[in-house]
Amino acid sequence: MADDRLSIFRAPRKDCDAEFTEKRSRFIGSVRIALNADEAAEMIKKFPELYPKANHHCWAYRIGGGAALEHCSDAGEPAGTAGRPILGAIKRHELTNTLIVVTRYFGGIKLGVRGLIDAYKAAAELAIERAGAVEMEFSNALLLRCGYDYSKTLSSTLRKWGFSEERVNVEYGAEVVMRLEVPFSMRAEIEAPLSEMAQRSFLTELRWDEVPLVRERWRGF
């Protein structure tokens, strides 16, 4: 896990787009989860393709915890009238790993500096409100394989660690295969006991998928 990444963080519940009109200008606020700057940059590039006739695609993102990485762009609007208000909305809601792009179709009536600030802020706030904000967490997928004679013991151990039946996908074949997602915050606690099970041949396979997954935080932990 990268040093600047929080294992548990507050972010939008879902990707969401929200639209309103101000003095004939159309504003579309789009909120997305972005886990790093490269991912955010790739998302930003797509908006001119999604809305090719729009006049501006202004954006801001905040990534990581502590000394969070924050960037914003006015994308041709007067300095300070778009990117900063969007970033301000992200920070007011205490979101991280979050990108917001506000697309504007100019309606022919100038809004002025104050009007632009208010409009871009409103578009960002509306997108966040529609998306909802929740605690998210990083996790790793884990596969465990064992014989039938050890499967009950393994299931019991997983339940003691907080992995209820609905969190474990069990497949029965020549052996028993259990698949689950382990939050980053729990991995250190269970990794050593699982390795010991494998070393003692209670587990015939123990495999972590190191590609991080992002899920809404499970309150059972």
Instruction: Label residue 7 by pLDDT band (50, 70, 90).
Output: confident
Residue 99 near residue 43 (C-beta atoms within 8 A) = yes
Pair 217, 9: CB distance under 8 Å: no
* Domains of the chain: total: 2
Q: Is position 62 within any domain?
A: yes
Residue in this structure with the two tokens 């929080």, named with its chain if needed = 6
Q: How many CA atoms lie within 13 A of 50 on its CB side?
A: 15
Which residues, other chains included, contact 130 with Cβ-Cβ below 8 Å and sequence gap of 6+?
Answer: 16, 17, 18
End residue of a domain, out of 97, 131, 165: 131
Query: Which of the four pLDDT bands, split at 50, 70 and 90, describes residue 6?
Result: low
In this structure, are 84 and 113 located in the same domain?
yes
Write the single-letter amino acid at 218: W
CA distances from 108 to 20, 24, 79, 89, 111 (A): 16, 7, 20, 26, 9
d(CA 70, CA 86): 11
Residues 64 and 120 in one domain: yes
- Model confidence pLDDT, tens digit, residues 143-174: 999 999 999 999 999 999 999 988 999 999 99
- Structural domain contains residue 193: yes
pTM of the entire predicted model: 0.81
Task: Identify the domain containing residue 206 by its residue range.
Answer: 137-216
Q: Are residues 103 and 146 in the same domain?
A: no
